[in-house]
């Protein structure tokens, strides 16, 4: 696809085979952190492939062994202002993932943190390797998980568990993620791609129209329990936090720690 796989280091790799579209976040040296270029590439890919009838299922994964996506790029996030929060930069993308016409599967190895975890939550299904670690550490950085975790996480694991995970920011390893309903399946790291593909092929064998309409019907339930109102409220709260002195202090400290040898 033009604009996605072009350039010496494309932010996103895309491939369609036998009805399965695989999108690979491609910043392994940065743990596939979601920077502006990657967000733009994902928007472009999703817009391009959404109308295509030869795409029955989407697998979303990360390049390298260490991370699905280790969150937003903190250097860029630090400089975002109130107006950026109200635009819902990540939230708009993840909503596009959630509303993609065909089913989506997140294939997760390593870290899925912050925005990376919210991206996985926006997918319909999640296959995790044993190295997978999920978490929403935003409150430790002076902000909140505002791109869907406040309602999608609760829908998956229940409100009580979602409160605990969002308040503490602790990491959830693969086996616990399976136990609490955060992921669908746990396999060895080397088998994550094959397990996600096997699931995708099972879905792709069914009638595409029936599957897409089933997804649309299920979306009505999700919107009824949270939906746009919850996202709008999260954007407004994040707008306040994005310009707080504590956010700047905490993100500066995080970036300083990263620079240490």
Q: What domains lie within the chain, and their CATH numbers?
A: 12-189+215-259 (3.90.226.10)
- Averages of pLDDT over runs of 10 residues in the chain (261 residues) are 58 96 96 92 96 96 96 70 67 93 98 96 98 93 82 93 96 98 97 98 95 89 64 66 76 76 58
Closest CA to 10 of 38, 33, 50: 38
Residue 242 CA: distances (Å) to CA of 40, 80, 124, 238: 21, 7, 29, 6
pLDDT at 249 (0 to 100) = 80
What does the block give as tokens for 43?
């928007």
Of the candidates 141, 138, 260, the residue with the CA atom closest to the CA atom of residue 149 = 138
Three-state DSSP state, 252: helix
The alpha carbon dihedral of 131, 68, 145, 150 has a sign of: negative
Position 244 scores a pLDDT of 77
Which residues are tagged catalytic?
Answer: 118, 138
pLDDT of 183 reads: 98
């Amino acid at each position: 696809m033009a604009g996605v796989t072009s350039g010496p280091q494309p932010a996103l790799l895309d491939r369609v085979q036998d009805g399965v579209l695989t999108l690979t976040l491609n910043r392994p040296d940065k743990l596939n952190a979601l920077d502006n270029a990657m967000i733009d590439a994902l928007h472009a890919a999703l817009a391009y492939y959404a109308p295509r009838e030869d795409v029955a299922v989407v697998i979303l994964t990360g390049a390298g062994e260490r991370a699905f996506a280790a969150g937003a790029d903190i250097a860029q996030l630090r400089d975002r202002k109130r107006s950026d929060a109200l635009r819902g930069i990540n939230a708009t993308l993840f909503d596009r993932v959630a509303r993609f016409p065909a089913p989506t599967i997140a294939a997760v190895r390593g870290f899925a943190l912050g925005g990376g975890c919210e991206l996985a939550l926006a997918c319909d299904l999640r296959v995790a390797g044993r190295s997978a670690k999920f978490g929403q550490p935003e409150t430790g950085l002076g902000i909140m998980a505002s791109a869907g975790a406040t309602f999608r996480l609760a829908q998956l694991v229940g409100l009580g568990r979602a409160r605990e995970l969002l308040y503490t920011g602790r990491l959830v390893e693969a086996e616990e993620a399976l136990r609490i309903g955060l992921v669908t399946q746990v396999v060895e790291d080397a088998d994550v791609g094959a397990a996600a593909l096997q699931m995708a092929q099972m879905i792709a064998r069914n009638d595409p129209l029936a599957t897409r309409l089933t997804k649309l019907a299920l979306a009505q339930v999700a919107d009824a329990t949270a939906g746009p109102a919850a996202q709008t409220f999260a954007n407004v709260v994040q707008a306040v936090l994005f310009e707080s002195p504590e956010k700047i202090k905490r993100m500066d400290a995080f970036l300083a720690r990263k620079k240490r040898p």
